[in-house]
Copies of this chain bind each other. A is one copy, B any other.
Amino acid sequence: MNFLPHLEAICSQVEGALACCVMGTNGLPVEQHRVARGDIDLEGLWVEYSSLFGQIERAGEAMHGGGLTELAIHTDRVTTLVRIVTPEYFLALALAPDGNVGKGRFALRVTAPRLLSELA
């Protein structure tokens, strides 16, 4: 189980990348790669954001919207892109607010299936 090359590849491809991680949807960290250090507690944000997934899943089910596949949360100081890989694991990418969101979504989308065999 070596996710680091995947996380490094994502960060090197996407303008404005700050960090990337594989994390459990229960909030337990698996692996992360940080490009930039700063005062934002990215790991803390990822844990907090992972606590939203259950609510979004329940809303999707109740309102016939289907299951959660991706999430993007933009705050004043960081953009967080999330891609659900399996019901147990997700990929997250932290970007500077002017980072390349389109390329970030693309990088997570193509990387997610490559992690599947290692997470199964």
Residues of A near any B CB (own CB < 8 A) = 39-42, 44-45, 48-49, 51-52, 55-56, 58-60, 62-78, 101-102, 105
Q: Determine whether the beta carbon of A60 is less than 8 Å from that of B75.
A: yes
- Within 8 Å by CB of A69, from B44, B59, B63, B76, lies B76
A55 to B45, CA, bound (A): 11
- Within 8 Å by CB of A70, from B60, B70, B72, lies B72
Provide the residues of chain B in CB contact with A73, threshold 8 Å: 56, 68, 70-71
- Within 8 Å by CB of A55, from B44, B48, B75, lies B48
Q: Determine whether the beta carbon of B48 is less than 8 Å from that of A64.
A: no
Provide the residues of chain B in CB contact with A60, threshold 8 Å: 45, 75-77
